[in-house]
Structure 1
């Protein structure tokens, strides 16, 4: 009998590594209501625009609902038998290293655990890597070099307690909005808090920064090496901490001393006075947290950057205490959980080291496995090279889209085409990767998944299901264990539910540990199913010894009357969020590192010399995320309001660079290098430094014709971590000269035929940007094909062939089927207004002609481009309110609600206010 799901479920957001708690409610209408969980310690009820729109992304459109083999529906037994037999045959004929798994930070920890166990402990290869290799593996490598373990020392609370926060390579406002809001709130309460942003771009995070250092790309190592030398020169080194708890300081300092301000200035592009101001602020402020993310990690010197940062915190003893420490924020919801179970090709489960024979023996003994991987497997970039050259002959991809997200993405496509056997587990039927699968396995998505994730502060939370499994979709852990059983390992993969996997994972974390490893959640090694179902967010470590000493009344009789323990029991009994079991929340304030001698290691890093520029290319390409979209948009692309802020791919370029190349604002730009070519819209902004361009990573072949930006990224990697340099491609730019430009609104998804196109959701249908070098012979026929209507359907049309202006619309009864606007230059129709017309009633000719004119009447004010996605507030609305006297972000919020939810748009709101106050004064 199928269990009845509760109406409101506490779960965890599936987007970034903040790990926000979510309340998901199934409404009687069938809609899913979404709210932040006020009891979750990561977000305390806050959600960003993406999290707030989660209810709009859980429909079944585009879902993979049944297994497929060679493009045809199959039953589960046939599909699983085929996967198991082909992998087994390949291993028998070519050895265990001839197969590989490529997995994802979208997997839950339980999924990750069984995949890693199967590959490393039973197949006997370490050829399992993850898309997390692309976002945080340099941080892992830096932690391990310095601490002996992949330990994030601090907590989110430190962000609110710090007196100085250094944000380097992190656009927190858009990529981790809830953490940004926690910092902004803390700064509002304590105005003396200082924030420094280190980023080549002046991102929206600069809105709360007291200092923005527009560093040259890849200048971070030099900056923090220079800081270390400055700290020593100013007598700011904590000699007691360094002498008692660390080693290697003198070697690191010797290199730092060879770089004065002038040398650092030359390497970073920052003026000596800027450097002196930052160095002095860091030196004089005890409570400092340095937050870093992809701008640090995604580099050929990413690991050195991480260690240069850590060196400065070790030298000052500013680690493991309230408001102090280096802080890596992860990009995916379960990147940290993947690290815990050994999801990377060079790690073992339980934060154990693959290169350590004792650790290998311990894991093999615990798993009772016939073998254990004895050497690191292929890291992501090398893995796909091995697929392409035939070394890897069977590949299983889980919950990720490498045809878009890997560097040199077209080479990855070639690898997938060449691979004899490709298995893909995914919730989506059609991605740029799934088209190359020999076997497609339908996996569950958010809202159906059941398991745990770990956020950036080491906090484990539950993802709980609130929707039934659709079609024949199955959880990833079930799919993996079914294949393992068919490969002959049934006894070791006999799980009936995810709680059993979690309990085994917890038991392994404590196995042979005795305080020798940082990751320990063995307090949950015997967790019953009902306690797993009710599991509340907790931070590790949570070892058996800690649990027994701190909470178990058998070991501590005085706790039998302890109020906190009673509160814990009562809250659990009543179904409320219980008090968290106490744990040591920070690491390393008093040493106790996880190196052999228990001392931290200073790593003597040298600033790398800049790579010589290729004279054929004049620009450095930086890739990254935008506010309202996530990865390759398979989820966020379903939401009209998330698509309203940026509905098409774009390139940020400095106005002077654009003028030099004849590129106008909103014009189209071709960007190319030896690896590929893309066409995107120009966004001119002085937030971008000259000589650099920025293109978001999100657009794929499902949403745009030529915008897969990672086709341009060279597969150069950090030699220590294997993380690719996704922010340092060299490219050329030039205007894309189109004969015509178009904009359309459509009720149905169109068939597309143009040199440039970009498709986005709008309420009731789609919005579409078009451009091409060739003009259709018959514009009316082109429009009917685009609208998906009969060839003889009447069109309301306006044609000016001399000016090359064409406007056409089709109606069915009183509803709009589609409208197309064509011009010689980018079309100036208000996109937000036009999109709203798909929901309008066209009961008279006047209203239809007004639509064709492309502008609203006086009774239909144009809200302008959407700025606040949470409440769909546009530029024009904010400008009008500003001119009417709303001269602060708070006042705009009171009048329009804009900026009052996730707050990610506040910097843009402030810019609109400032522009309109100046305009009014002139």
Structure 2
């Protein structure tokens, strides 16, 4: 085998880890961290280290598919037919209804060259600012915060600052899950410098809190009040840098008047913390030599997201903690190239090179560079507004690229209705299995990670090269190539006889044209090229022409990219979240991330081993709320908001406060009937237009669904997925997931108020392969109970339990272990269904604690019982030795099982 190694960049979060792709020119065989990449120095998280397992061809879009009428099925077509049809529809729509009747919704997972091609297509050719990105859902409040306070959308810090800071404040980010490689760096830094203070501000106690010296479990949405309360104390105790304020800032007088009313007692009560906690936090912020803040979606996804960002940045300006090692406000990007999208102008209010679409001079500069008469002056639609206008019929043709709005947008019932009603939806996507694919009239297969070439920018402004290792499968093409091909065809309708604006044959040509638009601006990329990065490695901007190295930190000279060079204190009062608890909806729903899944699971949802840690959507409730609702862990409930409902099992979790509930964000309708975002609300921040995905009012309602179904089938998971998902549609509760490593399997859990029709069970059995071969079967029609287990070559390959499912975990363990025993036959033929050792075998014992080394929770517990400590567990089991994400959980198990030591005199 011709094994090769190609250095590239991970396609998940904004850390921007370097990866080494092992391949044979046709298939990706393995992935490891790149020791030479300055973002990760060889480390990878559980998601990055399993990238090679996510290229399931049966989940990929391989050929163009076209539907010639709503309600009809898409059929395979060729690229010319597909793009000619799209061109005809867009040209006709623009001619009849104007350029603002079409829109583009793109993604923070695109490469910089892809972004640039889409921007030029929308603004220069079509003549619309209706181009927005899913970065609107995750980073737009950080953009507004940086621009209002500091003058430009430019995170001023470097990852090195995590290691040199004396006080790190983590706000609204479970960094241990969302950015694990950075968390490892912080963890190692604190182990070397125990005097470093770590403050975590999060309503829920997460794995990140295990590193904290202080955890402020504030009430959801009260961040602005907290930051104003901290500033009140800093001013009161004279712990501010008055020389820095005088020389480099403006606006403190107005802010002082505002925060005067945010007294410790008022803030403590409003935030749900103690005065002592508030004072301790303010003391560390105001007295440690260097102060660094890190934040993510907990600040951004809010109707007050812009105010939260600026209120936090105010603390840095007041203390002069910016522009030097270990200090500064540092937003952590959620997607691999959300930063590149912001640079190229891929939000509806932006233009390339950190320009504003509303600024006439900026529009003129870009129009002149592109060689067009003018750019559109009308305001473009942001994500929420865009889908509202799709639903109302104003947007008649929508082009979606590399994103899954039928999972990720809030108020999913409205979004799906919009997509269903839209006359023409194009989806440019690598995976045909996303929720949005069902709504596409035209599906265009895009190349994915490892199959395309271009640049990305990570959270610390570092530009890395994403390199192609293998040829894209089927007829999939790079995103930039699809966009340019479409644009060239559309030009013949909209600019007949004029020179082409899209004479690009390589991604390098796109970048080389784009980078000149940044020359002399705050993000100057004019010295960057694909070749330069290949020679000297990933670089941080600004990197002007003739530079020899990138810029590690910004604003070290105290000069900011504002009109007068001064940073701006922003004075905005605290405003509560849109939906507060009330009698009708007495719980606050918080959404967040899982350790081993990413965003909408388009990619991670194809890798069975990434479901080992958490295998289904479970609602976490405080034990007090469980008792109040007379619930037991595992019970199904209907979780309702003002917009929709989902049925989910509950768990007892004292990491959430009473009155709150936590549900992971990842589960869309494909994996959980209805999907989590059928609950969330589309209310958005007035400045950033970012929706409040983190904070919804909900209530629990009991459901009576006594008839249960559990099914498992190993083999080609994607082949069975859609068929079984459709067959299970009549059930009230449906959850699908994957399991296994060497032998992946599809798992289905479902429930309904009454027994399924026997004919439906026969269809399910046929799909599961339980209608032939060696199948152990038992039926009790009187109780509507049926059991089926298929045995091939002495091991279980398929299971179906109907009526009740007490044995599911026991059977799943037998399947995982690849064995059967006499107990299986005795249990199967018994009139009662209680499995052997029921109660001892639970979900937890099935749980994979360490995905990297495939170590279960039961194995860790057994090791602890033998007297192993953390080091011993690492040495004997291997857990915690690769990405380290499992270490906080292992530490909790060690504490929970610690035995008192007898003390003798």
Q: State whether TM-score is above 0.5.
A: yes
**Is the Cα contact below 8 Å between 1:829 and 1:855 reproduced in 2?**
no
Partner Cα distance (1:314, 1:875) in 2: 46
CA distance in 1: counterparts of 2:822 and 2:811, whole angstroms: 22
Match of 2:209 among 206, 213, 225: 206
Indicate how the Cα distance of structure 1 residues 591 and 785 shifts in structure 2: closer, same or farther if over 3 A, else same.
same
- Show the counterpart of 1:33: 30
Contact 2:408–2:600 (Cα < 8 Å) also in 1: yes
Query: Which SS does the other structure have where 1:589 is aligned?
Result: coil
- 1:642 corresponding residue in structure 2: 610
| Range with bigger deviation, 457-466 or 894-903 | 894-903
CA contact (8 A) 1:106 1:332 kept: yes
1:465 to 468, 486, 508: 468
Residue aligned with 1:97, SS: helix
Would you say the 8 A contact 2:464–2:533 is kept in 1? no
Shift of 1:881: 0.7
| CA separation of 1:213 and 1:835: change in aligned 2, threshold 3 A | farther
Map Cα deviations across residues 862-919 of structure 1 (whole Å, 9 max, x no partner): 96321111111111111111111113x2322112111111111111111112222249
Q: 1:786 to 1:684 in 2, by over 3 A?
A: farther
**CA RMSD across the alignment:** 2.6
Q: Per the alignment, in what secondary structure is the counterpart of residue 523 of structure 1?
A: coil
- Take 2:279 and 2:597, find their aligned partners in 1: how far apart are those partners? 37
Give 1:496 shift.
0.7
Partner of 2:527: 523
> Does residue 865 of the first structure (1) align with residue 847 of the second (2)?
yes
Q: Deviations over 1:30-86 (max 9, x none)?
A: 552110001100000110000011110013112111111111111111111121222
User: Structure 1 residues 830, 536: CA separation in 2 closer, same or farther (over 3 Å shift)?
Assistant: farther
Do residues 902 (structure 1) and 883 (structure 2) align?
yes
Q: What corresponds to 2:737 in structure 1?
A: 760
Question: In structure 1, what is the equivalent of residue 107 of structure 2?
Answer: 104
Unmatched 5+ stretches in structure 2: 68-73
Q: Cα offset for 1:835?
A: 4.2
Give the superposition deviation at 1:741: 3.0
- 1:373, distance to aligned residue in structure 2 (A): 2.5
8 Å contact kept, 2:25–2:471 = no
Q: Distance in 2 between matches of 1:713 and 1:137?
A: 18
Q: Distance in 2 between matches of 1:497 and 1:663?
A: 59
| SS in structure 2 of the partner of residue 462 of structure 1 | strand
Deviations 1:324-375 (A, max 9, x none): 0111001111110100000001111011122222222111111112321324
The corresponding residue for 1:541 is 542
Call closer, same or farther: CA 1:848–1:41 in 2, change over 3 Å.
farther
Distance 2:705 2:289 in 1: 57
**CA shift for structure 1 position 266:** 2.2
2:11 counterpart of 1:14: yes
Moved more, 27-36 or 213-222: 27-36
Is contact 2:453–2:468 with CA below 8 Å preserved after alignment?
Answer: yes
Segment drifting more, 320-329 vs 233-242: 233-242
What is the CA deviation profile of residues 106-126 of structure 1, one whole-angstrom value per residue up to 9, with x for unaligned ones? 111100011011112222211
- Give the aligned partner of residue 477 of structure 1: 480
Are the structure 2 counterparts of residues 335 and 762 from structure 1 closer, same or farther at C-alpha, using a change threshold of 3 Å? Answer: same
Residue of structure 2 equivalent to 1:64 = 61
* Structure 1 position 225, deviation (Å): 0.8
Deviation at 1:440, TM superposition (A): 1.1
1:339 to 1:121, Cα distance in 2 relative to 1, 3 A: same
Q: Is the 8 A contact 2:27 2:470 kept in 1?
A: no
Decide whether the 8 Å contact of 1:666 with 1:826 is kept in 2.
no
**Range with greater deviation from structure 2 (766-775 or 289-298):** 766-775
* Shift of residue 821, structure 1, vs aligned partner: 3.8
User: Does residue 647 of structure 2 align to residue 671 of structure 1?
Assistant: no
Q: Given the alignment of the two structures, is residue 247 of structure 1 paired with residue 250 of structure 2, yes or no?
A: yes
Choose from 497, 509, 512 the match for 2:518.
509
SS in 2 for 1:101: strand
How many Å apart are 1:449 and its aligned residue?
1.8
Query: Would you say the 8 A contact 1:67–1:79 is kept in 2?
Result: yes
CA change 1:583–1:447 in 2 (3 A) is closer
Q: Is the 8 A contact 1:146 1:600 kept in 2?
A: yes
Question: Equivalences for 1:765-844 in 2 at 5 Å?
Answer: 765-776=745-756, 778=758, 781-782=761-762, 785=765, 788-789=768-769, 791=771, 795-798=775-778, 806-812=786-792, 814-822=794-802, 824=804, 827=807, 829-830=809-810, 833-837=813-817, 840=818
Pick one of 128, 133, 138 that aligns with 1:130.
Answer: 133
- Paired residue for 2:20? 23
Q: Alpha-carbon deviation of 1:533? A: 5.8
Q: How far is the alpha carbon of 1:808 from its aligned partner?
A: 2.3
Q: Which residue of 2 aligns with 1:573?
A: none
Change (3 A) 1:12 1:792: closer
1:49 and 2:53 equivalent?
no
Q: Deviations over 1:649-698 (max 9, x none)?
A: 11111111011112211222210122111011212110011111111121
Cα distance in 1 between the residues matched to 2:238 and 2:522: 32
1:427 and 1:851 map into 2 onto residues whose CA distance is 43
Distance in structure 2 (CA, Å) of the matches to 1:6 and 1:881:
38
What secondary structure sits across from 1:53 in the alignment? helix
Question: Distance in 2 between the 1:831 and 1:303 partners?
Answer: 50
The partner residue of 1:325 within 321, 328, 351 is 328
1:123-149 deviation digits (Å, cap 9, x = unpaired): 221110011100010000111111121
CA contact (8 A) 1:168 1:292 kept: yes
C-alpha spacing 1:46/1:335, structure 2 compared with 1 (3 Å): same
1:168-317 mapped onto 2 (5 Å cutoff) = 168-317=171-320
In 1, Cα distance between equivalents of 2:625 and 2:163: 39
Cα 1:851–1:179, aligned 2, differ >3 Å: closer, same or farther? Answer: farther
Shift of the alpha carbon at 1:193? 0.8
Q: 1:74 and 1:618 mapped to 2: Cα distance? A: 51
Give me the TM-score of the superposition, normalised by structure 2. Answer: 0.92
C-alpha contact (below 8 Å) 2:533/2:539 kept by paired residues: no
- Cα distance in 1 between the residues matched to 2:79 and 2:805: 53
Asked if structure 2 preserves the Cα contact closer than 8 Å seen for 1:670 and 1:678, the reply is yes
Matched residue SS, 1:197: strand
Give 3-state SS (helix, strand or coil) of 2:550's partner.
coil
Deviation at 1:757, TM superposition (A): 2.4
What's the counterpart of residue 566 of structure 1?
Answer: none
Q: Quick check: 1:697–1:709 contact (8 Å CA) kept in 2? A: yes
Distance 1:593 1:6, change over 3 A: farther
CA contact (8 A) 1:408 1:710 kept: yes
Question: Residue in 2 aligned with 1:352?
Answer: 355
Residue in 1 that maps onto 2:550: 583
Query: Which of 391, 395, 399 matches 2:394?
Result: 391
User: How far is 1:615 from its partner?
Assistant: 2.2
Residue of structure 2 equivalent to 1:689:
657
Residue 500 of structure 1: aligned partner = 509
Cα distance in 2 for partners of 1:701, 1:609 equals: 30
Between stretches 350-359 and 136-145, larger displacement belongs to 350-359
Q: Is the 8 A contact 1:672 1:732 kept in 2?
A: yes
Q: Distance in 2 between matches of 1:657 and 1:313?
A: 39
The counterpart of 2:95, out of the listed 66, 72, 92, is 92
SS in 2 for 1:461: strand
Aligned to 1:886: 868
SS of the aligned residue for 1:492 comes to coil
Rounded Cα–Cα distance in structure 2 between residues aligned with 1:803 and 1:898 = 44
Rate the CA distance shift 1:436–1:804 in 2: closer, same or farther, 3 A: closer
Q: Against the structure 1 CA distance between its residues 868 and 194, is the aligned structure 2 distance closer, same or farther, given a 3 Å change threshold? A: same
Q: Does 1:605 align with 2:582?
A: no
Q: Secondary structure at the match of 1:114?
A: helix
Q: Does 1:626 align with 2:585?
A: no
Task: Pick closer, same or farther for the CA change 1:409–1:863 going to 2, 3 Å.
Answer: closer
* Cα deviation 1:535-594 (Å, max 9, x = unaligned): 7211100011x52xxxxxxxxxxxxxxxxxxxxxxxxxxxxxxxxx42331111222211
Q: Could you say what secondary structure the match of 1:882 adopts?
A: helix
Aligned in 2, Cα 1:819/1:407: closer, same or farther, shift over 3 Å? Answer: same
Match of 1:454 among 433, 447, 457: 457
- SS of the residue 1:641 aligns to: helix
Q: Aligned-pair distance for 1:316?
A: 0.8
Whether the 8 Å CA contact 2:225–2:267 is kept in 1: the answer is yes
Aligned pair count reads 870
Looking at structure 2, the residues matched to 461 and 26 of structure 1 have their Cα atoms a distance apart, in angstroms, of 20
Q: Summarize deviations over 1:389-416 as a string: whole Å, max 9, x none.
A: 1111111000111011101111111111
